[in-house]
């Protein structure tokens, strides 16, 4: 019998791509989302791609009664937990809302799982939990939680620690902590992609808005970093590769906590990302050099060897694939 998976945040950017992979692999999927940062139309897009429309619960994780009802009728084998607030600058302005939504929301989820005997969870963590390290190549064994620069990052760190404590209490509990590097790109169909509300903070969504003419120019935050071209370097990972990482994690969950970096291991600079976009679109992007952004590290990237060795997963798509799929998504959405 196929496994039933509850995907929290499943209408969001990474969640929707993962739901498509799950359905295509024959899993039964239900989505829980409060639609704070996503649209109900995503369900139709998922159906167009995967041929099935997953059951949808418009529920907030902070609404314990509604959440419990979903679990009472659910009979889930596992939860993939994407739901959360994720805007770094907003988390500095609204720390209580971030802790409540992300941390208290996860506590509610765990209580509902406990009451219905659901023993498997995969959590969307982030490279941000590494904070500042001596080496820019992050390995899972590095200590986390030191010198985190914002409340968003600390919610990820605290949730990781809560999941470790909970799993230490229940020897049957199975946790996958996936530390994402920089998710980018869109589904090759052009039907799913990143479409944030308001002015984006992240590089690729900002580039997309400039390319669409909705924002005047890209500001490159600093070109005097100690990197080859002076701009910051990050490990960008195509969202479809990232979605597939969750499938590999589901297959390899085991009692206790399993931690994996999901990244390519190959960093790109801001200037390299901009050039790749310009190459793909055939147009120059309006841009200028601006001051450094507070809290940015010059460079970091994943050491993805553990995921390759133990999950049999590695990235397959390139930055050029990211740009092609992003442009296709822009074209299909306008
Ligand atoms: P997203 O905002 O597109 O998706 C998150 C979804 O969760 C949204 O649909 C939102 O409506 C929903 N949600 C938020 N709070 C909720 C609540 N209380 N109850 C129910 N639903 C709620 O974000 P994304 O980029 O797809 O990120 C998914 C997860 O991955 C997040 O936890 C994020 O922190 C994490 N992550 C993202 C990145 C990134 O750069 N995108 C990097 C590392 C980790
Ligand atoms: N960046 C930029 N201009 C922007 C947005 C981002 O130059 O408008 C840079 C940012 O300084 C960082 C890189 O792009 O070096 C990636 O930033 P993003 O916010 O996407 O990811 P993160 O900071 O989480 O790695």
DSSP string covering 241-277, please? HHHHHHHHHHHH--SEEEEEEES-S--EEHHHHHHHH
Residue whose tokens read 């589904």: 187
- What pLDDT does residue 149 have? 86
Instruction: State whether the beta carbon of 37 lies less than 6 angstroms from ligand 1.
Output: yes
Residue whose tokens read 């969307």: 124
Where does 40-87 have alpha helices with state H? 42-50, 64-72
Rounded CA gap, 125 and 57, in Å? 23
Closest atom of ligand 1 to CA, residue 182: 40
- Alpha-carbon separation of residue 238 from 278, 294, 323 (angstroms): 18, 26, 10
pLDDT < 70 positions in the chain: 1
Closest atom of ligand 1 to CA, residue 36: 11
- What pLDDT does residue 205 have? 96
- Alpha-carbon separation of residue 90 from 13, 135, 186, 201, 210 (angstroms): 18, 28, 24, 10, 22
> Encoding tokens for residue 146?
């030191």
What distance lies between CA 301 and its chain's CA centroid? 15
List beta partners, residue 30. 6, 55
Instruction: State whether the beta carbon of 221 lies less than 6 angstroms from ligand 2.
Output: yes
Based on the residue annotation, tell me whether 152 is a catalytic residue of this protein. yes
Residues in the chain: 334
- What pLDDT does residue 1 have? 67
> Encoding tokens for residue 102?
């992300």
Instruction: State whether the beta carbon of 149 lies less than 6 angstroms from ligand 2.
Output: no
> Given ligand 1 and candidates 6, 8, 12, which is best to mutate, with the most ligand atoms within 8 Å of its CB?
12
- What pLDDT does residue 272 have? 98
8 Å CB contact between 131 and 144? yes
Rounded CA gap, 7 and 187, in Å? 18
């Amino acid at each position: 019998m196929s496994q039933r998976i509850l995907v929290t945040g499943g209408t969001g950017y990474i969640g929707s791509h993962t739901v498509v992979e799950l359905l295509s692999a024959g899993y039964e999927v239900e989505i829980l989302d409060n639609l704070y940062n996503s649209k109900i139309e995503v369900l139709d897009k998922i159906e167009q791609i995967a041929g099935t429309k997953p059951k949808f619960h418009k529920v907030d994780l902070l609404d314990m009664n509604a959440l419990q009802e979903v679990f009472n009728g659910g009979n889930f084998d596992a939860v993939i937990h994407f739901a959360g607030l994720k805007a770094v600058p907003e988390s500095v302005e609204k720390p209580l809302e971030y802790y409540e939504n992300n941390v208290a929301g996860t506590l509610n989820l765990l209580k509902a799982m406990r009451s219905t005997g659901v023993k498997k969870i995969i959590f969307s963590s982030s490279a941000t939990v590494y904070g500042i390290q001596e080496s820019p190549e992050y390995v899972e064994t590095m200590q986390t939680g030191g010198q985190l620069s914002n409340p968003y990052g600390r919610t990820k760190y605290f949730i990781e620690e809560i999941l470790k404590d909970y799993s230490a209490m229940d020897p049957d509990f199975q946790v996958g902590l996936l530390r994402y590097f920089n998710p980018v790109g869109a589904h090759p169909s052009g039907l799913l992609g990143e479409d944030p509300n308001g002015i984006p903070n992240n590089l690729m969504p900002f580039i997309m808005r400039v390319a669409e003419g909705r924002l005047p120019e890209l500001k490159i935050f600093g070109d005097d970093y100690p990197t080859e071209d002076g701009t910051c370097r990050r490990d960008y990972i195509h969202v479809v590769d990232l979605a597939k990482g969750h499938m590999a994690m589901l297959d390899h969950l085991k009692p206790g906590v399993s931690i994996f970096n999901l990244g390519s291991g190959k960093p790109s600079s801001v200037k390299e990302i901009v050039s790749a976009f310009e190459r793909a679109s055939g147009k120059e992007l309006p841009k200028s050099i601006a001051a450094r952004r507070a809290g940015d590290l010059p460079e970091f990237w994943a050491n993805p060897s553990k995921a390759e060795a133990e999950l049999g997963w590695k990235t397959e798509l390139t930055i050029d694939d990211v740009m092609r799929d992003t442009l296709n998504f822009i074209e299909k959405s306008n």
